[in-house]
Amino acid sequence: MNRRDMVDRVVKELQGDLPAVSRPYLAVAERTGLSEQEVISVLDELREKGMLKRIGAVLRHQKAGYDANAMVVWKVPEEDMDRVGSLMAACPLVSHCYWRETPPGWPYNLFTMVHARSRRELQAAIRELSRRSGIDEYRVIESVRELKKTSVQYR
Residues 3-25 have a mean pLDDT of 86
CA 90 to chain centre: 13
- Kindly tell me the sign of the dihedral angle through the C-alpha atoms of 37, 38, 44, 47: negative
pLDDT over 80 at 64, yes or no: no
**Which pLDDT does position 33 carry in this prediction?**
94
Helix/strand/coil percentages in the chain, nearest 5: 40, 15, 45
What tens digit of pLDDT does each residue of 76-94 get?
999 999 999 999 999 999 9
pTM score, two decimals? Answer: 0.68
The Cα–Cα gap between 13 and 153 comes to: 10
Backbone φ and ψ of 72, nearest 5°: -115, 125
The Cα–Cα gap between 37 and 23 comes to: 12
The Cα–Cα gap between 146 and 121 comes to: 20
What tens digit of pLDDT does each residue of 125-147 get?
999 999 999 999 999 998 778 78
Q: 68-142: which CATH number, 1.10.760.10, 2.40.50.140, 1.10.3720.10, 3.30.70.3460?
A: 3.30.70.3460
